[in-house]
Amino acid sequence: MRQYKLLIIAFCALVFLFGCARSVTTQTEVVDTRPVVSFVLNADSKGAQLYIDGLHQGEIDTYSYPNSAIRLLPGRHLVEVKKNGLVIYKETRVFSEGIDYKINVTP
């Protein structure tokens, strides 16, 4: 009886070890291909506010070239820059996947 217990324990250990050794692992990598947009600023455009499709994105300095950028969904977008309530830059552009854009903001 004792031999059967040892045999069963050994069999279970072997099944467990072989099951762990043959486990398959899959590695998945997600690549962000959204368009990257940064802005070249001059002294007059610093401190202005950025709007994409009418939505406020914060100070444009946050996305100034070459230090930082904003990622957008691919497609057509209205880009507006406002300073002291006045629109100093406005353009509708089509942004494509995987492309870095640099926009010169000159009021």
Share of the chain above pLDDT 70, in %: 79
Is residue 90 domain-resident?
Answer: yes
Is residue 5 domain-resident?
Answer: no
Burial 8-29 (b: 16+ CB within 10 A, else e): eeeeeeeeeeeeeeeeeeeeee
- CATH number of the domain at 75, please: 2.60.40.1120
Is residue 28 domain-resident?
Answer: no
Backbone dihedral region for residue 3 (phi beyond 0: left; psi -120 to 50: alpha; all else: beta): alpha
C-alpha span between 77 and 92 (Å, rounded): 6
Q: Can you give the pTM of this predicted structure?
A: 0.71
Asked if 63 contacts 101 with a C-beta cutoff of 8 angstroms, the reply is no
Is residue 41 domain-resident?
Answer: yes
Per-residue pLDDT of 22-59, as tens digits, reads 667 888 899 999 999 999 998 888 889 999 999 999 99
The pairing of strands 36-41 and 70-71 is antiparallel
The parent domain of residue 91 ranges over 36-105
Is residue 49 domain-resident?
Answer: yes
